[in-house]
Amino acid sequence: MSVPADHPKTAPEKIGVLLLNLGTPDATDYWSVRRYLKEFLSDPRVIETPKWLWWPILNLVILSFRPQKSGHAYEQIWDKRTNESPLRVITRAQSEKLAERLSGMDNIVVDWAMRYGTPSTKSVLEKMQAAGCRKILLAPLYPQYSATTTATANDKAFDALKDMRWQPAVRTLPAYFDSPTYVKTLAESIRQGVEGLDFEPDVVLTSYHGMPVEYYEKGDPYYDQCLETTRLVREYLGWPEDKLMVTFQSRFGRAEWLKPYTAETLEELPKQGKTKIAILAPAFSADCIETLEEIAITGRESFLEAGGEQFAYIPCLNDSEAGMDMLEAVVRRELAGWI
């Protein structure tokens, strides 16, 4: 069959790796934060309340006052050098470093996108498709699976694919909560973090993002995977059970969420004589408002006000050398057969 002279040329075939993270407002002002929160809290995966009931609560109540509060929190951790949130800065760095590590294969394209906010998943997928990516690995950066995180990131990508006439083949990165590489990397980051302190913690908290108990009862595996991550890390370190605890943060609304709550635990520990602690957030691949403001700032204040003496926050794996080794390993594993 002859091809018309004006027929568009197709780009050489490539393989894409798209890192997907939660999202962030573009700035800390009211309207920027409001736009972000509206998109985030309108997701039926995140808020399962019937739309007819949730819409007036969200638009007439929550979005009237929460943007100011969240904007103030973002201001405390905002990266003044780039005028961006730490989550965006770190996710971009992870993408750039992973691209460099995979640069030996000239048919690999690595990029990043946000489920909520910019750069949007749709815009980046369209860019990758136009660049010739006929196979794309969607890589939600969540070690533990939840419908509120991993699934909604994939949903957004699938929504974009529905509008493509020429769809790439896709794979999705599964949860890696029990991957030996992840467990070892997380455990060593804890060990190094504790060894670098000028005090010995009475207890180390692994604070995971919370979710309503109802979601777990409906079949979400997140809670079990969080417990398993901490158990495996504890065994790797050879620590007793009371040395490494599990708690859950970021409770929202009046429903019962996964327990024990991080905020309440921080206030109770000093009463139990545990006045020196370290804390980390294993559910996050990159430091963000939930870690840098909610834990490292507000959590510290609560703990010290309750009688605590020493408090240390251990950062996420971020784009550290060890963290990138781990990310590269899980990505290469899922690319098997394509590369």
Q: Residues marked as binding for Fe(2+)? A: 209, 290
Tell me how far the alpha carbon of residue 281 is from its chain's centroid: 10
Residue 94 near residue 318, CB atoms below 8 Å: yes
Q: Which of 288, 292, 282, 210 is nearest to 252 (CA)?
A: 210
Paired strand residues for 208: 248
Q: Which of 306, 308, 296, 289 is nearest to 24 (CA)?
A: 289
Residue 291 near residue 273, CB atoms below 8 Å: no
Distance in angstroms (rounded) separating the CA atoms of residues 309 and 66: 32
User: Is residue 66 within a helix (H) or strand (E), and if so which, with residue range?
Assistant: helix 63-77
Annotated binding site: 209, 290
Q: Which of 194, 185, 180 is nearest to 285 (CA)?
A: 185
What are the two backbone dihedrals, phi and then psi, of residue 102, each rounded to the nearest 5 degrees?
-100, 10
Residue 298 near residue 305, CB atoms below 8 Å: no
Q: Which of 132, 138, 142, 140 is nearest to 108 (CA)?
A: 132
Residue position matching structure tokens 């019937």: 50
Handedness of CA 323, 318, 196, 304 (dihedral sign): negative
What DSSP line would sit under 176-237, residue for residue? -TT-HHHHHHHHHHHHHHHHTSSS--SEEEEEEE--BHHHHHTT--HHHHHHHHHHHHHHHH
